[in-house]
């Protein structure tokens, strides 16, 4: 009621007809309808916006003290809307039975991307899946396989030897904390709406918009492609240095030629390309085939990790089974400097690590001229794998950051004689080297299009995989630091043991268990990258946010 007038909105009319506002007083007939054809200087025109963008105009004659009996409504939309009386703002003396609360532009923009609509939910439910993978095969195992890459086997022991156990634990804590917080965040987003194919990109783009999602998605796609190259190069390094050195083009003498155009670098390029083509054929067979093949390589990786634990226990119970190395004072000697390559076994190096060895003395005193430190430094053969009872834990707890081409913190190395560092080390350098080893947590999320129930599988599988791999990293760091001598830990390429892999020499019952497992870990991690990266790019292209020529 307004001033004793009962206002009713008439029934809808057909397009093209005038809308009439019927005004009646209590107990009296309504006055005659007087159409108002157009606004003029004596009429007040009141605009009424609606949520569709159209506007109604109501012309009121200001000379009348009573309300007009009829108004002409001009509209730009075919939809009938509720409107306000007398040109007042929405919510003030209006006739609307319901008014949607106003919302700022940016908030409404974000809201449009946050909540999936009914159509999107229906399409998600009716979408034909390529594979109905569960939490174990679809998220947990692929994520573990991606995280447990080559870095764990060929660099973790070296990080322990340089940074010490104390700072290594801090380094691992920082790395794992970053990935775990990210894992929790992506799990929260995954449980808050429909999850289609595209994984992390889909979830980000539907919450913050395709502009944000495509920017992150493209970077993530490039990261997966670069990671594939890293894993393949690491696998070829294991293949050529430790498993089949004879396959090296140019012979084992070129293993140290790791420059940009070095012969060893060209070997890595050549064999990595062959491995990439092989993995391409496997991925082309379909994701189900890949996820059936992946557990086979993952089992070998898990056996390799268990072999490290068993090797630490075995060396503790029987220290005599540990590999010996030759020391010249506090410098670790390369095995090729101590004994001829074609004579004896590396396990007999102690027979050559003595002043009575003619081969060693000829190398120490070329042309019969001995350096002054020969008489002051002692030559000794020590156990490189003494076990947990040896006190190696306390010896390896502190850090020893060594400069490039140095044998120890203070002494430069004789590059033909001593084991030396090929890069200048610091905590941040080691952090940058090892951090890629904890990545890969989005592998399961990127397979969302092939999951049976992604909203449940992604959080459970990703969090479980992150916690599992974090435990493995911390426990392996403890085993390496407590069971291996510090000088051997800093021998990154195993030069003191005839080029053997340090972690493989620790493992039990055979070094081949770890060599095969570490190679398959790189192969499996590259497979997961090749599976997830194309799906990510496909989702970005499906949203049509990448500019392309028409």
Q: Any alpha helices (H) in 134-286, and if so which ranges?
A: 135, 141-147, 151-154, 156-190, 200-208, 210-238, 263-284
The reported pLDDT for the residue numbered 445 is: 82
The reported pLDDT for the residue numbered 100 is: 53
Are the CB atoms for 438 and 156 separated by under 8 Å? no
Q: Which residues contact 220 (CB under 8 A, 6 or more apart)?
A: 200, 201, 442, 536
* 50 vs 312: CA distance, rounded Å: 75
CA distances from 134 to 37, 124, 130, 449, 454 (A): 68, 17, 13, 12, 8
- Structural domains of the chain, ranges and CATH numbers in brackets: 1-102 (no CATH), 118-319+438-478+510-542 (1.20.1740.10)
pTM, rounded to two decimals: 0.71
Q: What are phi and psi of 330, to 5 degrees?
A: -105, 15
The reported pLDDT for the residue numbered 513 is: 92
The reported pLDDT for the residue numbered 487 is: 94
CA distances from 457 to 136, 137, 466 (A): 8, 10, 14
The DSSP secondary-structure symbol of 499 reads T
Question: Distance between alpha carbon 98 and the CA centroid of its chain, in Å?
Answer: 48
Per the structure block, which two tokens stand in for 386?
């003494």
Going residue by residue through the chain, which has 550 residues, state the pLDDT in tens, using 9 for 90 and above. 444 444 444 444 444 444 443 334 444 444 444 444 444 444 444 444 444 444 444 444 444 444 444 444 444 444 444 444 444 444 454 555 555 555 555 555 545 455 555 555 555 555 554 567 788 888 998 889 888 878 888 899 999 999 999 999 999 999 999 999 999 988 888 888 777 777 778 888 877 887 888 888 888 889 889 989 988 998 998 999 888 888 898 887 787 777 778 888 999 999 999 999 999 998 888 877 887 777 788 888 899 999 999 999 999 999 999 999 999 999 999 999 999 887 778 889 999 998 888 888 888 888 878 877 777 888 999 999 999 988 899 999 999 999 999 999 999 998 889 999 988 999 999 999 999 889 888 888 877 777 888 888 899 999 999 999 999 999 999 999 999 999 999 999 888 998 889 999 999 999 999 999 888 888 888 888 888 888 888 888 887 777 766 6
Question: Distance between alpha carbon 514 and the CA centroid of its chain, in Å?
Answer: 25
Per the structure block, which two tokens stand in for 172?
């691992």
Angle at 228 between CA 226 and CA 233, to 5 degrees: 100
* Upper half-sphere CA count for residue 316 (Cβ side, 13 Å): 15
Burial 204-243 (b: 16+ CB within 10 A, else e): bbbbbbbeebbbebbebbebbeebbebbbbbbbbbbbbbb
* 37 vs 42: CA distance, rounded Å: 13
The reported pLDDT for the residue numbered 534 is: 85
The reported pLDDT for the residue numbered 72 is: 45
Dihedral of alpha carbons 56, 6, 38, 11, sign: positive
């Amino acid at each position: 009621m307004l001033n004793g007038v009962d206002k009713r909105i008439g029934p809808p009319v057909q397009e093209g007809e005038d809308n009439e506002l019927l005004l009646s007083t209590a107990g009296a007939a309504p006055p005659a309808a007087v159409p108002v054809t157009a606004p003029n200087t004596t009429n007040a025109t009141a605009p009424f916006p609606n949520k569709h963008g159209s506007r109604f105009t109501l012309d009121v004659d200001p000379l009348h003290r009573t309300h007009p009996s009829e108004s002409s409504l001009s509209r730009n939309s075919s939809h009938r809307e509720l409107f306000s009386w007398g040109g007042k703002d929405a919510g003030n003396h209006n006739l609307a039975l319901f008014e949607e609360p106003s919302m700022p532009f940016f908030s409404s923009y974000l809201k449009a991307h946050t909540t999936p609509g009914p159509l999107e939910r229906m399409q998600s439910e009716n979408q034909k899946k390529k594979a109905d993978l569960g939490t174990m095969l679809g998220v947990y195992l692929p994520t573990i396989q991606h995280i447990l890459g080559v870095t764990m086997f060929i660099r973790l022991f070296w990080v322990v030897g340089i940074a010490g156990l104390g700072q290594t634990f801090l380094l691992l804590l920082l790395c794992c904390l970053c990935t775990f917080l990210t894992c929790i965040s992506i799990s929260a987003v995954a449980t808050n709406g429909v999850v289609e194919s595209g994984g992390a990109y889909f979830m980000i783009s539907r919450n913050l918009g395709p502009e944000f999602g495509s920017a992150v998605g493209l970077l993530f796609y490039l990261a997966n492609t670069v990671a594939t190259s890293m894993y393949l190069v690491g696998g070829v390094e294991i293949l050529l240095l430790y498993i089949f050195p004879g396959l090296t083009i140019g012979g084992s003498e070129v293993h140290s030629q790791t420059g940009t155009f070095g012969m060893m670098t060209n070997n890595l390029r050549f064999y990595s390309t062959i491995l990439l083509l092989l993995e391409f054929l496997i991925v082309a067979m379909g994701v189900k085939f890949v996820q059936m093949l992946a557990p086979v390589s993952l089992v070998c990786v898990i056996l390799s990790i268990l072999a490290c634990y068993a090797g630490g226990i075995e060396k503790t119970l029987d220290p005599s089974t540990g590999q010996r190395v030759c020391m010249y004072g506090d410098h670790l000697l390369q095995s090729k400097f101590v004994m001829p390559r074609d004579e004896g076994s590396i396990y007999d190096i102690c027979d050559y690590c003595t002043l009575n060895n003619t081969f060693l003395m000829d190398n120490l005193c070329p042309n019969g001229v001995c350096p002054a430190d020969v008489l002051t430094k002692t030559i000794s053969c020590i156990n490189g794998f003494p076990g947990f009872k040896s006190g190696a834990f306390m010896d390896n707890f502190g850090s020893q950051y060594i400069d490039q081409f140095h044998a120890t913190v203070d002494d430069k190395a004789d590059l033909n004689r001593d084991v030396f560092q090929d890069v200048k080390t610091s905590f941040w350098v080691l952090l940058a080297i090892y951090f890629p080893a904890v990545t890969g947590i989005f592998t399961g999320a990127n397979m969302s299009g092939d999951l049976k129930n992604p909203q449940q599988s992604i959080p459970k599988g990703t969090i479980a995989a992150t916690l599992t791999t974090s435990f493995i990293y911390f426990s392996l760091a403890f085993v390496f630091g407590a069971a291996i001598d510090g000088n051997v830990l800093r021998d990154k390429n195993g030069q003191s043991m005839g080029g053997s892999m340090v972690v493989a020499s620790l493992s039990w019952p055979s070094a081949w268990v770890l060599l095969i497992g570490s190679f398959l870990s790189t192969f499996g991690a590259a497979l997961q990258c090749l599976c997830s990266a194309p799906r990510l790019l496909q989702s970005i292209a499906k949203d049509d946010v990448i500019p392309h020529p028409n």
